[in-house]
């Protein structure tokens, strides 16, 4: 806080006058400066000195400490199993329940495990077309669960590309018009690595 000037006391003013009278001026032509008159303390104008704002307390922090934890895999799409389980049941409910419990035996099956997408797509198409022509209702498509590859990039890779692609093929032309329901197979028929494909009744 700035100290206020107090001025000269009477005895200090008298001493100043005696010293000034005995001093030899350096510049005789200039008038001597008069000492400032004593100003009583109660007449000194009060000056409001603005107070400094208190500095905010800064706690220890670490850069990125509030960022969300991205250690988990950023795969926001539902899994194949969840997507098929959430699909509406278009076939007979009683038959659907029996089928999902593994109590219906597939009339034919195809194993696409180990094939590339380019190899598997025509094989699946021919198999479904032949099964529909033969009047079959329930067939089993085996894809395998697939292996998770190296995932060092920013875009997560799905496990089992063929397993994810087959249900889409079964809903697209020309197979979509023949397929009534696609359900993940029971454990006795392959579980997550296979699908029950229930075909429409031949017209």
Q: Among residues 136, 140, 146, 81, which one has the least CA distance to residue 111?
A: 140
How far is Cα 106 from Cα 189, in angstroms, rounded to an integer? 9
The pLDDT, as a whole number, for residue 82 is: 83
How far is Cα 159 from Cα 58, in angstroms, rounded to an integer? 46
The pLDDT, as a whole number, for residue 104 is: 95
Helix H or strand E segment including 108: strand 108-111
Q: What is the pLDDT along the chain (203 residues), one digit of tens a residue?
A: 566 666 667 777 777 777 767 766 666 666 656 656 555 555 556 666 677 777 777 676 677 666 665 444 444 567 777 888 888 999 999 999 999 999 999 999 999 999 999 999 999 999 999 999 999 999 999 999 876 554 555 555 556 889 999 999 999 999 999 999 999 999 999 999 999 999 999 76
Domain boundaries defined on the chain:
82-146+158-190
The pLDDT, as a whole number, for residue 150 is: 47
Q: Among residues 111, 83, 90, 87, which one has the least CA distance to residue 201?
A: 90
Between β-strands 138-142 and 108-111, what pairing exists: parallel, antiparallel or unpaired? parallel
How far is Cα 87 from Cα 184, in angstroms, rounded to an integer? 11
Q: Using an 8 Å Cβ cutoff, are 83 and 173 in contact?
A: no
Q: Residue 107 is encoded by which pair of tokens? A: 């009339």
Give the pTM: 0.58
The pLDDT, as a whole number, for residue 145 is: 83
Q: Among residues 104, 166, 174, 167, which one has the least CA distance to residue 139?
A: 104
Q: Which residues, in sequence order, are CB contacts of 84 under 8 Å at separation 6+?
A: 167, 182, 183, 184, 195
Q: Convert the pLDDT of each residue in 40-97 to its tens digit.
A: 555 556 666 677 777 777 676 677 666 665 444 444 567 777 888 888 999 999 999 9
Q: Residue 196 is encoded by which pair of tokens? A: 């029950």
């Amino acid at each position: 806080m700035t100290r206020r000037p107090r001025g000269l006391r009477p005895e200090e003013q008298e001493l100043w006058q005696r010293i000034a009278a005995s001093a030899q001026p350096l510049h005789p032509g200039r008038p001597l400066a008069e000492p400032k008159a004593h100003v009583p303390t109660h007449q000194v104008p009060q000056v409001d000195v603005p107070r400094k704002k208190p500095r905010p307390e800064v706690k220890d922090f670490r850069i990125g400490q509030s960022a969300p934890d991205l250690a988990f895999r950023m795969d926001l799409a539902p899994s194949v199993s969840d997507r098929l389980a959430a699909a509406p049941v278009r076939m007979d409910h009683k038959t659907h329940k029996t089928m999902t419990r593994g109590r219906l035996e597939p009339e034919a099956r195809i194993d696409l495990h180990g094939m590339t997408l380019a190899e598997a797509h025509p094989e699946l198409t021919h198999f479904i077309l032949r099964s529909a022509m033969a009047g079959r209702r329930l067939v089993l498509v085996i894809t395998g669960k697939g292996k998770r590859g190296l995932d060092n990039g920013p875009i997560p890779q799905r496990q089992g590309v063929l397993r994810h692609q087959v249900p889409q093929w079964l809903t697209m032309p020309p197979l979509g018009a023949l397929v009534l329901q696609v359900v993940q197979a029971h454990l006795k028929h392959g579980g997550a690595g296979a699908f029950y494909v229930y075909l429409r009744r031949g017209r």
